[in-house]
């Protein structure tokens, strides 16, 4: 398909970074509400949709996706008083519906149906927390994928919505105490900068039910550090309010305040180079999960009257495997270890005794094992690449698990196989990678392959089931997911090996994964697609500019692509601990060396590329993708298409309606098959 790209105006904009002049000809695309930018978005979408509509099997892929996704999905239930709550999607509902039932045998009833809040199903609703007497619940409403939320309240028994409404909330929980909640918010932004302006002065408030938000007192603020974020949560016994203060997405300092008194916040952990989470409080002691002197984490008990490190009591020492989380429920602790990116759970007493490994259904990902002290039954979810998300009921005393909800999906996992391989990166580091494909796959280099990764922010990628992925697998494709450095799979050392001036390790790990797949006969460069979202979008953008001939297709989604200006928008400055900042002379050199936008070269043939973003993304603002797309179309000298798909009424990804998910995945698979010269069986 011959493509004529629309002309995008280039302006005379040059910035000086520590003596280096750098042109930014598409600066005007940063103003996403400007009429000229809206016209550009419309023109680009028309081009992309015209291209995709000419692919003959695109609609058949969308139809097949609707069939595959049309099955009931349930979250793990959680108890509040006499009621159990859970989220359920009957199949193709745009948003999961929140249900509640009395006891485990009661009849489920609709509690809140987000699908009735907007015509296109773009409103997402999340239950945040319940009052101590379980009379009220606080819940958040997010529109069109925005990070901005409103907090509302409901009386549980009557389902009566209370008049209270809390606005300009972002990156906040809701911790009940007495007749209200602690929450975090920003000052009201100017309307024009609501989606892209810097978020500053994150403050903690207390709201009393029945009062106006304007009367909410400030519980904590730090005017000397307007870029810091502040997160609070109350201990289960409501004895203390815990506050984490962080300059970014990495380390944080921890404070606590005795509730029911006028005592100030007391610092328990200072500095921002470590992460310490207060798990629980009992009789003057905190149980803390920390990476202090333990990059794979350990669990310690701290006497509040003697908080110095020499007085800590070690409950769970650091081991060779990452201690990912420790949950509480039923008077027990549940330690979650990650071994080569698969989950293990151990139940124990608070002193670390009576340890018992919980028998999960297999190797995969599990979540849950959390509840109140008086609970005797907990729930957890288990999934893997070939194991649809299944809910289990767990009896604490006996340690017995029984299936509670099993997905009825028209899919036979015995047709496929999943396995883990290890391959060497550029510097010899061994990198794990999961591979999923049909059983008996011939290694004849003929298979369309989708290489997906993230590699950053201490985030671990573990096995999970996706019905949208079956489109690839049932057409003899290969799904590959490596666990790159920068992630959290092997603890803080693994994370730090892929951040700041070591970020190139992440790209080298990803490139080595591609080379492994080609060398082992799974695919060829033409049929190899690379994909990732957010920080993973940066990964794709960096790798396609460094090794353009290695990949046939590229899918950078909601990516961080302008590494010199990312910190100037919304919450971007919080990523400085991970990436560095162009304001620092040495960090600028590192960022400039790999910034995808600044490493596109004129005259180069780049892979067939479909950039995806959304007009309401207020986390990684769409300007990143807009500028990258404009520069890519300007520089590219090949026959492969380089397009941008801009979703409307959607954000960074959370809360996206099923209808939009189906449309986006249908377009992605159609683009992949077409450019890989593979005809799907539809």
**263 is a catalytic site residue:** no
Contact 661, 36 (CB under 8 A): no
Q: Is 182 left (phi over 0), alpha (psi -120 to 50) or beta?
A: beta
Tokens linked to 521? 């006969």
Q: Which CATH number fits domain 40-67+411-675: 3.40.50.1820, 3.40.50.970, 3.40.720.10, 1.10.1040.10?
A: 3.40.50.1820
Helices (H), 550-679: 576-579, 585-594, 623-635, 658-675
Q: What is the mean pLDDT of the chain?
A: 95
How many angstroms separate the CA atoms of 316 and 3, rounded?
60
User: Alpha-carbon distance 518 to 516, whole Å?
Assistant: 5
Residue 195, pLDDT > 80, answer no
Average pLDDT over residues 338-345: 97
pLDDT at position 627 is 98
Residue 189 has a pLDDT of 83
In angstroms, the CA 499 to CA 522 distance is 30
* Percent above pLDDT 90 for the chain: 92
Beta pairing, strands 449-452 & 478-482: parallel
| Every domain of the chain and the residues it spans | 40-67+411-675, 71-234
114-125 pLDDT, tens per residue? 999 988 899 999
Q: What is the largest CA-CA distance in the chain?
A: 73
Identified catalytic residue from 447, 652, 665, 674 = 652
**Secondary structure element (H or E) that encloses residue 415, with its range:** none
Q: How far apart are CA 501 and CA 577, in angstroms?
A: 11
CB crowding 244-257: b at 16 or more within 10 Å, else e: bbbbbbbbbbbbbb
* Euclidean distance between CA atoms 428 and 125, whole angstroms: 46
Residue 190 has pLDDT above 90, yes or no: no
- Residue 306 DSSP one-character state: B
The per-residue pLDDT for range 11-43, each reduced to its tens digit, is 999 999 999 999 999 999 999 889 999 999 999
Average pLDDT over residues 563-569: 97
Q: How far apart are CA 150 and CA 57, in angstroms?
A: 41
CB 336 within 8 A of CB 343: yes
Residue 663 pLDDT exceeds 80? yes
pLDDT for the residue 651: 76
Residue in the block written with tokens 């070690």: 314
> 421-453, pLDDT tens digit by residue?
999 999 999 999 999 999 999 999 999 999 999
What is the predicted pLDDT for the residue at 682? 87
Residue with tokens 């098959």: 673
pLDDT digit string, tens, across residues 509-540: 999 999 999 999 999 999 999 999 999 999 99
Instruction: Tokens 């798909």: give the residue.
Output: 645
- Whole-number pLDDT of residue 656: 87
Is 235:69 a contact under the CB 8 Å cutoff?
A: no
Average pLDDT (453-463) is 97
Residue 96 DSSP symbol: P
Q: Which fold has domain 71-234?
A: Methylamine Dehydrogenase; Chain H (2.130.10)
Q: Of 198, 201, 177, 275, which is closest to residue 495 (Cα–Cα)?
A: 275
CB 237 within 8 A of CB 286: no
Distance of CA 456 to CAs 495, 498, 541, Å? Answer: 7, 7, 14
**Region 362-380 average pLDDT:** 96
**According to the model, what pLDDT value does residue 271 have?**
87
| Model confidence pTM above 0.85 | yes
Say what the pLDDT of residue 192 is: 56
pLDDT in tens, 240-282: 999 999 998 889 999 999 999 989 999 999 989 899 999 999 9
pLDDT at position 2 over 90: no
Is the predicted pLDDT of residue 194 greater than 80, yes or no? no
Phi (first) and psi of residue 347, to 5 degrees:
-95, 140
pLDDT at 648 over 60: yes
**Known catalytic residue at 534:** yes
Choosing from 534, 582, 595, 625, the catalytic residue is 534
Q: How far apart are CA 461 and CA 386, in angstroms?
A: 16
For residue 132, is pLDDT > 60?
Answer: yes
Rounded Cα distance between 477 and 12, Å, is 45
Lowest mean pLDDT among 479-483, 621-625, 635-639, 653-657: 653-657
Please name which of 296, 124, 130, 125 lies closest in space to residue 655, comparing C-alpha atoms. Answer: 124
Predicted confidence band of residue 472 (pLDDT cuts 50, 70, 90) = very high
Three-class secondary structure of residue 414 per DSSP: helix
Six-digit token pair at 595? 């910034």
Q: How far is CA 442 from CA 445, 519, 596, in A?
A: 8, 14, 35
Cα three-residue angle 123-129-130, rounded to 5 degrees: 120
Report whether 312 contacts 302 (CB < 8 A): yes
> HSE of 362 in the Cβ direction (CA atoms, 13 Å)?
13
Question: What confidence score (pLDDT) does residue 193 get?
Answer: 61
């Amino acid at each position: 398909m011959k493509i004529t790209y629309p002309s995008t105006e280039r302006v005379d904009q040059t910035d000086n970074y520590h003596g280096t002049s750098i042109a930014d000809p598409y600066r005007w695309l940063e103003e996403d509400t400007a009429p000229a930018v809206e016209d550009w978005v419309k023109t680009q979408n028309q081009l992309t949709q015209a291209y995709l509509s000419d692919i003959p099997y695109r609609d058949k892929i969308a139809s097949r996706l609707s069939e595959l996704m049309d099955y009931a999905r349930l979250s793990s239930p959680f108890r509040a008083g006499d009621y159990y709550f859970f989220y359920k999607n009957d199949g193709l509902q745009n948003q999961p519906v929140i249900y509640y039932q009395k006891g485990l045998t009661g009849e489920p009833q609709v509690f809140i149906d987000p699908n009735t809040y907007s015509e296109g199903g773009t409103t997402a609703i999340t239950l945040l927390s319940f009052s101590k007497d379980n009379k009220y619940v606080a819940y958040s409403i997010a529109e069109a994928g925005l990070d901005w939320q409103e907090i509302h309240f409901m009386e549980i028994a009557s389902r009566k919505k209370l008049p209270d409404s809390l606005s300009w909330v972002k990156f906040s929980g809701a911790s009940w105490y007495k007749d209200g909640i602690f929450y975090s918010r920003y000052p009201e932004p100017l309307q024009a900068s609501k989606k892209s302006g810097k978020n500053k002065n994150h403050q903690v408030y207390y709201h009393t039910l029945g009062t106006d938000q304007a009367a909410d007192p400030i519980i904590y603020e730090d005017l000397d550090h307007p870029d810091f974020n502040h997160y609070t949560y109350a201990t289960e016994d409501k004895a203390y309010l815990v506050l984490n203060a962080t300059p970014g997405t990495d380390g944080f300092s921890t404070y606590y305040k005795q509730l029911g008194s006028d005592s100030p916040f007391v610092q328990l952990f200072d500095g921002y180079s470590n992460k310490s989470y207060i798990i629980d409080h009992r009789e003057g002691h905190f149980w803390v999960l920390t990476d202090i002197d333990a990059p794979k984490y350990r669990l310690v008990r701290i006497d509040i009257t003697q908080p110095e490190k020499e007085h800590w009591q070690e409950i769970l020492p650091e081991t060779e495997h990452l201690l990912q989380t420790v949950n509480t429920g039923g008077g027990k602790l549940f330690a979650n270890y990650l071994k080569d990116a698969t989950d293990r759970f151990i139940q124990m007493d608070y002193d670390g005794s009576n340890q018992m490994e919980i028998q999960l259904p297999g190797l995969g990902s599990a979540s849950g094992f959390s509840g109140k002290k008086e609970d005797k039954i907990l729930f957890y979810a288990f999934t893997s690449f070939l194991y649809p998300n299944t809910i289990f009921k767990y009896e604490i005393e006996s340690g017995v698990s029984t299936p509670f909800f099993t997905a009825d999906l028209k899919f036979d996992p015995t047709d496929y196989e999943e396995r883990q391989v290890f391959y060497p990166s550029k510097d010899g580091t061994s990198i794990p990678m999961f591979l999923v494909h049909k059983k008996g796959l011939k290694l004849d280099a003929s298979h369309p392959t989708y290489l997906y990764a993230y590699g950053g922010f201490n985030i671990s990628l573990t096995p999970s089931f996706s019905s949208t992925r079956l489109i690839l697998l049932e057409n003899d494709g290969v799904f590959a997911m490596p666990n790159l450095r920068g992630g959290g799979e092997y603890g803080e050392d693994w994370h730090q090996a892929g951040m700041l001036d070591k970020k190139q390790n992440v790209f080298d790990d990803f490139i080595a994964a591609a080379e492994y797949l080609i060398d082992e006969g799974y695919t060829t460069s033409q049929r190899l697609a690379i994909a990732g979202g957010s920080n993973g979008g940066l990964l794709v953008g960096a790798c396609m500019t460094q090794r353009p001939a290695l990949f046939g297709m590229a899918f950078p989604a909601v990516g961080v692509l302008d590494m010199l200006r990312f910190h100037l928008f919304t919450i971007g400055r919080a990523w400085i601990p991970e990436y560095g900042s162009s304001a620092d002379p040495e960090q600028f050199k590192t960022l400039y060396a790999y910034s995808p936008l600044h490493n596109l070269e004129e005259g180069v043939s780049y892979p067939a590329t479909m950039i995806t973003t959304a007009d309401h993304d207020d986390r990684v603002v769409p300007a990143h993708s807009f500028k990258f797309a404009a520069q890519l179309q300007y520089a590219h000298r090949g026959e492969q298409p380089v397009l941008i798909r801009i979703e409307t009424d959607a954000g960074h990804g959370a809360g996206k309606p099923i209808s939009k998910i189906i449309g986006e995945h249908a377009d992605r698979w159609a683009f992949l098959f077409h450019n890989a010269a593979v005809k799907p069986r539809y």
